[in-house]
Amino acid sequence: MAQWIEVSISVDGEAAEAAAELLNRYGYQGVAIEHEGIPPETLDDGDPVPDSHLTVRAYLANDARAPALQEQLESGLRYLNMMYPMPQPVYTVIDEEDWAEAWKQHYHPVRIGKRVVIRPLWIEMELAPDDVEIALDPGMAFGTGTHPTTQLCLEALEDLIVPGAQVLDLGTGSGILAVGAAKLGAAHVLALDNDPVAVDVAIENIAQNGVAEHITVQEGSLETVITSARRFDLIVVNILARIIIAMCDHHLGDTVRPGGKAIFSGIIEDQADDVEAALRKTGLTPYHRRQQGDWVVIEARRDA
């Protein structure tokens, strides 16, 4: 019988995002991030989630490659430990027949903002008439709706999307924000990711949600947009603060049309000032922050 190795790491703050990025390189079916000691139903009522430790989980096939993958993973954690406190990972062997349920039990319906509901495909639930449902199977791409960075982005999209908007989702992952933008009224979303696996997963999730005619998914990056000279009414970038800052040196602001707006996430509170300074240099004006625990979303505009 085939077996899987569950890898779990207990961290807090920005370390969760860094650990998830690392585990996503080695784990099958992406990563799960959950709040320790907070029941899943707490995440359903739209209230801010209190600060807590986070558990980041991934799964490795328990085969001949497993020892080498564990060694690479632990080498990456030692490197990260120079920047954030990183504990040793905990390994648990799980039989194949239990793996699917072990994976899925970390995902639950999440209600965000006023109307958005994220529903895992394997869970049925009753919706209110004006709910905006995003039915999701994260597959092997990061982005499940359980992390504050994604939740804050969806709240911002709910407030900023205007009917007929042209939207860019840079680093789409599972496609969750692209689906949300389309269901909230965007005329078209260009969803880009430099990971071909993420592109495939996003295409499947977009089709599952019935919005394929409103979204174009491509393998690509900021350079793809700059080269095409396309401009958008709204862009959403849920990546990492250091990557956003680096993008600002490569004309990130040029992707927003005059009078357009932008949403930036993946930012820890003590990084927000540096990100805002970089946004100003690229021609954007930060005007609003949203916060959940240590995580911050920055909203900016390009003056007309």
Structure tokens at 87: 């504990």
The encoded tokens of residue 108 equal: 């639950």
Contact 184, 154 (CB under 8 A): no
If pLDDT is split at 50, 70 and 90, which confidence band does 185 have? very high
pTM of the model: 0.74
- Give CA–CA dist 112/110, Å, rounded: 6
Encode pLDDT of 189-202 as tens digits.
999 998 887 788 88
pLDDT at 27: 73
Q: pLDDT-derived band of residue 13, with 50, 70 and 90 as boundaries?
A: low
Domains of the chain: 3-102 (3.30.70.2190), 111-301 (3.40.50.150)
91, 69 contact by CB (below 8 A):
no
Mean local confidence (pLDDT), 130-147: 71
- pLDDT of 52 above 60: no
3-state per-residue secondary structure call for the chain: CCEEEEEEEEECCHHHHHHHHHHHHHCCCCCEEEECCCCHHHHHCCCCCCCCCEEEEEEEECCCCHHHHHHHHHHHHHHHCCCCCCCCCEEEEEEHHHHHHHHHCCCCCEEECCCEEEEECCCCCCCCCCCEEEEECCCCCCCCCCCHHHHHHHHHHHHHCCCCCEEEEECCCCCHHHHHHHHCCCCEEEEEECCHHHHHHHHHHHHHCCCHHHEEEEECCHHHHHHHCCCEEEEEEECCHHHHHHHHCCCHHHHEEEEEEEEEEEEEHHHHHHHHHHHHHCCCEEEEEEEECCEEEEEEECCC
Taking only the tens place, the pLDDT of each residue in 118-130 is 888 888 888 889 9
| pLDDT of residue 39 exceeding 50 | no
Please state whether 171 falls in left (phi above 0), alpha (psi between -120 and 50) or beta: left
**What percentage of the chain exceeds 90 in pLDDT?**
48
